[in-house]
Amino acid sequence: MTESTESRNQRAGRTIEMSSTDTVATTASDPTAVVATAQFLTPVVLGLQALTINAKQAHWHVRGANFVGVHELLDTIAGNAGEFADAAAERIVALGLPLDARVSAVAEKSSVTSVPVGFAKSDDLVHAVIADIDRLLADVRAAVDGLDGIDLTSQDVAIEIQRGLDKDRWFLVSHIAA
């Protein structure tokens, strides 16, 4: 008789109790590492969700001589942030933990907040989005450092996010460089 997948997962420590009725088999073998991974990646997901919204806000309200270039770049940054958030969120969920990234949670827990309301000059919006990316990069770097030795696959996700945000930041800085 073959052992069930559920039995193998439980024996290997790969089942996390979600509630009294639900369990989810995870891709990780160490439940402590799973929780630590979620603690590092959750602020990254929330910050990326906020950046997605703020970059779109800036995209819609940019004005000035650099309108077309900045408008298109902000749209790209919003799309990138959404893809990065999805990758980090899916990693948390693949490990068997839930994630609260609803708008209310993002608004309450994210440090990304500097984009002004309403129309603004392109340089002002570029500076604001750079500031948002800088705050977010602090969380991403903490995840990269904290995940070293805990969960290298999750660390790889964080490294890819850092690489992408660094590139988006460079593109923004290039619009305001003298």
- Backbone φ/ψ region at 102: left (φ over 0), alpha (ψ -120 to 50), beta: beta
- Give residue 7's pLDDT: 42
- Give residue 162's pLDDT: 99
pLDDT digits (tens, 9 = 90+) for 105-128: 998 998 877 788 999 999 999 999
- For the chain, the first-to-last Cα distance in angstroms comes to 72
- Give residue 20's pLDDT: 41
Q: What mean pLDDT value characterizes the chain?
A: 87
Beta bridge partners of 63: 121
Answer with the residue of higher pLDDT: 1 or 151.
Answer: 151
C-beta separation of 96 from 37 below 8 A: no
What one-character DSSP code corresponds to residue 23?
E
- Give residue 143's pLDDT: 98
Q: pLDDT-based confidence at 12, cuts 50/70/90?
A: very low
- Give residue 131's pLDDT: 96
C-beta separation of 146 from 40 below 8 A: yes
- Give residue 8's pLDDT: 36
Amino acid at 101: A
DSSP states of 108-138 as a string?
HH-----PPSS-EEHHHHHHHHHHHHHHHHH
CATH fold for domain 29-176: Ferritin (1.20.1260)
Instruction: Give mean pLDDT, residues 50-78.
Output: 96
pLDDT digits (tens, 9 = 90+) for 18-49: 444 454 444 556 888 899 999 999 999 999 99
Q: pLDDT-based confidence at 167, cuts 50/70/90?
A: very high
C-beta separation of 55 from 74 below 8 A: yes
Q: Is the pLDDT of residue 158 over 60?
A: yes
Encoding tokens for residue 104? 């209310």
Residue count of the chain, please give it.
178
